[in-house]
């Protein structure tokens, strides 16, 4: 494997490498293209931030991403678009079957969304501004020139508000992120990958590089002889003679999740017989972490690649908590990242390894969760709405306001990564053999086909019976969402340079 850090960051958008955490003032604009010619002109010189490291921290960043409609409007050929994944082409709200898998049914259904549901509310592109405190307004003024205003039409502005390192329910957020293996230090060969690792192959997040299977995810490749504009694009590593529109780009999933903060805390407070300490414990068991981010399971003794042993908040797996006594199996963070390896835990020696591979030597309820490394996402979300501390939220007269998360994540394969995590892990009422419960925070509480309920939360205890919380209300409602392609900077140039079709 290549040990030198030779990765070229200058063609990647910065968001793939940095979360812009210090830039707390943000603005996400959903745009429609009003004038293609002007839009292309603006795009050609747009100061989009790249992922190279600079000596001083930047005080501004601009990122851009397109929906499939946006690419079409910008005159990307249909034959090129066909090279993108089906999920991206169809869009988050484009098919009922997708909505079913994502749990976007009932009150979460796309037709109820503020944006991204009905076709005229699907944006063409999203512009993301990041700036220091109170500085986004000036940043916007500098970007949104007269030509910009003629080129684009703002269809929606996603609200954001920095309330500290926490999400609206009050829990520390963004602690666990996959670490991208830019230097390709880790083998993707299954024989060398038994346990959980927090390092993921570049190709899991960035298109055009080998993924966790050691292969290249499908993406649009263009023959330069047929499309001379493509000359500005990087070469496809796996197909000689072709240009790679996907390379250095990624898919960006955006979902606006409305959070009922008073509803959440008041319900838990009631379930805890109005004892605030118990209420906090219950909340922590639903989230899988305490409010300050401390995990509920003990620190892992074995090393975890990609996580420093000093990082107490993240250096753990659930290998020694198979029953969920410490952290309930259905807890939010355990569903979103079950920290499983390729093989079930505690493999000892060759014979045991073969036995485990053949399915023997384990209990019925073990080994039900897929290997985590194929299902990681890089989160880049931001919260919105005024801060409401839990101690305030439990009061009956707590201030009601629009609060929530602009959930954003990057991945190279929406279906295998984001959609899998959302459907098989978060929303599934059968995750890891559980019963009657989906994600305690995200669950839509809809009953199954034959009426089986999904609105419980099970908290196993080592002492006696499982404590069950019944009739969980819905705490999170999907308000909007879309799939975007966040191109590499050469690909932005390509999109800007494509000739305008006659009929536009």
Residues near other proteins (CB under 8 A) are 86, 89-90, 95-98, 100-101, 190, 213, 215, 217-218, 323, 342, 356-359, 364-365, 367-368, 370-371, 374-375, 415-416, 419-420, 423-424, 428-430, 433, 435, 448-452, 460-461, 463-468, 470
Give the span between the Cα atoms of 151 and 158, in whole angstroms. Answer: 20
Residue placing its CB nearer to other proteins in the complex, 99 or 256: 99
- Supply the minimum distance, in Å, between the C-beta of residue 322 and other proteins: 12
CB 167 within 8 A of CB 405: yes
Residue placing its CB nearer to other proteins in the complex, 215 or 312: 215
CB 357 within 8 A of CB 343: yes
- Supply the minimum distance, in Å, between the C-beta of residue 423 and other proteins: 6
Give Cβ neighbours of residue 57 (< 8 Å, ≥ 6 apart): 22
- Supply the minimum distance, in Å, between the C-beta of residue 217 and other proteins: 7
- Supply the minimum distance, in Å, between the C-beta of residue 31 and other proteins: 26
Residue located via tokens 């997040």: 205
Residue placing its CB nearer to other proteins in the complex, 109 or 135: 109
**What is the three-class DSSP state of 405?**
strand
* Residue 444 backbone phi and psi in degrees, to 5: -90, -5
- Supply the minimum distance, in Å, between the C-beta of residue 395 and other proteins: 25
Give whole-number Cα distances, 495 to 222, 399, 412, 491, in Å: 13, 46, 19, 6
- Supply the minimum distance, in Å, between the C-beta of residue 431 and other proteins: 10
User: How far is CA 120 from its chain centroid?
Assistant: 25
- Supply the minimum distance, in Å, between the C-beta of residue 450 and other proteins: 4
- Supply the minimum distance, in Å, between the C-beta of residue 371 and other proteins: 5
Residue placing its CB nearer to other proteins in the complex, 34 or 105: 105
- Supply the minimum distance, in Å, between the C-beta of residue 356 and other proteins: 8
Residue placing its CB nearer to other proteins in the complex, 68 or 478: 68
Strands 179-180 and 199-200: parallel
Residue placing its CB nearer to other proteins in the complex, 95 or 114: 95
Give the span between the Cα atoms of 440 and 284, in whole angstroms. Answer: 11
- Supply the minimum distance, in Å, between the C-beta of residue 383 and other proteins: 29
Backbone dihedral region of 91: left (phi > 0), alpha (psi from -120 to 50 degrees) or beta? Answer: left
- Supply the minimum distance, in Å, between the C-beta of residue 199 and other proteins: 17
Residue placing its CB nearer to other proteins in the complex, 300 or 428: 428
Give Cβ neighbours of residue 432 (< 8 Å, ≥ 6 apart): 329, 330, 338, 365, 368, 369
Other CB atoms closer than 10 Å to residue 320's CB: what's the count? 15
Residue placing its CB nearer to other proteins in the complex, 233 or 421: 421
- Supply the minimum distance, in Å, between the C-beta of residue 408 and other proteins: 22
Give Cβ neighbours of residue 122 (< 8 Å, ≥ 6 apart): 67, 69, 91, 93, 115, 116, 482
How buried is 84 (Cβ within 10 angstroms: 0-12 exposed, 13-18 middle, 19+ buried)?
buried
Give the span between the Cα atoms of 406 and 384, in whole angstroms. Answer: 7
User: How far is CA 402 from its chain centroid?
Assistant: 21
CA neighbor of 72 nearest in space, from 86, 60, 82: 82
Residue placing its CB nearer to other proteins in the complex, 1 or 465: 465
The 10 Å CB-count burial string (b at 16+, else e) for 180-211 is bbbebebebeeeebbbbbbbbbbbbbbbbbbb
Residue placing its CB nearer to other proteins in the complex, 67 or 406: 67
Residue placing its CB nearer to other proteins in the complex, 90 or 161: 90
Give the span between the Cα atoms of 344 and 50, in whole angstroms. Answer: 40
Residue placing its CB nearer to other proteins in the complex, 281 or 370: 370
Give the span between the Cα atoms of 229 and 313, in whole angstroms. Answer: 48
């Amino acid at each position: 494997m290549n040990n030198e850090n030779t990765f070229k960051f200058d063609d990647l958008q910065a968001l793939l490498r940095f979360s812009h955490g210090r830039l707390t003032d943000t603005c996400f604009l959903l745009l429609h293209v009003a004038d293609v010619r002007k839009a292309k002109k603006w795009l050609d010189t747009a100061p989009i931030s790249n992922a190279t490291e600079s000596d001083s921290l930047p005080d501004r960043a601009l990122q851009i991403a397109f929906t499939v409609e946006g690419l079409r409007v910008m005159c990307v050929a249909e034959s090129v678009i066909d090279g993108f994944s089906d999920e991206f082409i169809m869009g988050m709200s484009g098919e009922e079957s997708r909505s079913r898998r994502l749990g976007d049914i009932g009150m979460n259904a796309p037709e109820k969304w503020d944006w991204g549901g009905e076709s005229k509310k699907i944006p063409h592109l999203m512009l993301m501004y990041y700036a220091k405190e109170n500085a986004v307004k000036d940043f916007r003024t500098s970007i949104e020139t007269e030509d910009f205003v003629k080129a684009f039409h703002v269809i929606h502005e996603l609200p954001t508000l920095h309330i500290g390192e926490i999400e609206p329910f009050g829990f520390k957020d963004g602690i666990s992120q996959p670490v991208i293996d830019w230097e390709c230090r880790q083998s993707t060969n299954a024989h060398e990958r038994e346990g959980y690792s927090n390092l993921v192959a570049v190709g899991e997040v960035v298109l055009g590089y080998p993924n966790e299977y050691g292969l290249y995810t499908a993406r649009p490749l263009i023959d330069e002889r047929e499309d001379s504009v493509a000359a500005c694009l990087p070469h496809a590593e796996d197909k000689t003679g072709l240009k790679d529109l996907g390379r250095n780009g990624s898919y960006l999933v955006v979902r606006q999740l409305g959070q009922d903060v008073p509803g959440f805390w008041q319900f838990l407070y009631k379930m805890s017989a109005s004892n605030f300490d118990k209420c906090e414990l219950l909340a922590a068991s639903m989230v899988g972490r305490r409010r300050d981010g401390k995990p509920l399971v003990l620190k892992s003794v074995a090393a975890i690649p990609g996580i420093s042993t000093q990082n107490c908040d993240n250096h753990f797996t659930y290998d020694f908590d198979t029953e969920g006594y410490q952290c309930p199996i259905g807890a939010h963070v355990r569903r979103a990242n079950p920290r499983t390896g390729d093989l079930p835990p505690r493999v000892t020696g060759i014979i045991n390894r073969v036995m485990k591979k053949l399915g023997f030597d384990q209990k019925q309820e073990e080994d039900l969760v897929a290997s985590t490394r194929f299902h990681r996402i890089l989160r880049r979300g931001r919260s919105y709405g005024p801060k409401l501390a839990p101690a305030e939220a439990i009061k009956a007269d707590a201030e009601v306001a629009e609060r929530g998360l602009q959930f954003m994540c990057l991945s190279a394969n929406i279906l295998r990564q984001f959609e899998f995590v959302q459907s098989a892990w978060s929303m599934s009422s059968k995750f890891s053999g559980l019963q009657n419960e989906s994600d305690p925070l995200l669950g839509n509480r809809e009953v199954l086909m034959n009426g089986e309920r999904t609105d419980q939360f099970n908290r196993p205890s080592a002492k006696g019976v499982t404590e069950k919380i019944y009739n969980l209300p819905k705490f999170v409602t999907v308000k909007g969402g879309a799939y975007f392609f966040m191109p590499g900077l050469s690909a932005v140039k390509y999109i800007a340079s494509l000739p305008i079709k006659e009929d536009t």
